[in-house]
Structure 1
Amino acid sequence: MLGWTDILGLVAGICTTVSVIPQIKKAWKTKKVDDISPFMFGILMLGVFLWVIYGITQNDVPIIATNGASLALNSFMFYLMVRFRKKK
């Protein structure tokens, strides 16, 4: 059974995980990603990856699950950034 702190962690993780979905939809539809900083997005992905590792070391399922999903979505967004970035 999940305790209140597990539920809190899941809700917080879900909020941060789904926050990238509108950006993915916009990038997919418009094929425009030049306003997104690859450097900062890379730092975000590194941070999310480190949260996954931390969750594994702590055996914390909410952290592993939500940050794992976030890493997958952010990886897809990074792919879109590479695919649609205009060559300068």
Structure 2
Amino acid sequence: MNENILGIIAGVLTSISMIPQLIKVIRDKNVDDISLVMLIVLISGLSLWVWYGCMKNELPIILSNAFAVLVNISLLVSYMIYRKS
């Protein structure tokens, strides 16, 4: 298998992995089971992957991780909106 295809498939799968969680949070308006620390660490790590991809000029790394950052920032915003104060 071509390594670029493998990278694209891996990127797509990891990028969409949090979409079901985001949908559930938006539908239920409940973030009780979401860890704020986990979200911050994950967004930080994904952002570093985007930076790394830019340094290496690797479009699959850049695009997949940038999309994942957006999904997880959406989850973070949802967390801020729906958390119980």
* Identity, % of aligned positions: 39
2:46 corresponds in structure 1 to: 48
Alignment of 1:1-88 (within 5 A): 4-87=2-85
Structure 1 segments, 4+ long, off by >2 Å, are none
CA distance in 1, matches of 2:6, 2:47: 20
Report the TM-score, using the length of structure 2 for normalisation: 0.96
After TM superposition, give the deviation of residue 27 of structure 1 in Å: 0.3
Report the count of equivalent residues: 85
CA distance in 2, matches of 1:34, 1:62: 33
**Aligned CA-pair RMSD:** 1.0
Report the TM-score, using the length of structure 1 for normalisation: 0.93
Unaligned runs of 5+ in 2: none
After TM superposition, give the deviation of residue 86 of structure 1 in Å: 0.4
CA distance in 2, matches of 1:78, 1:64: 21
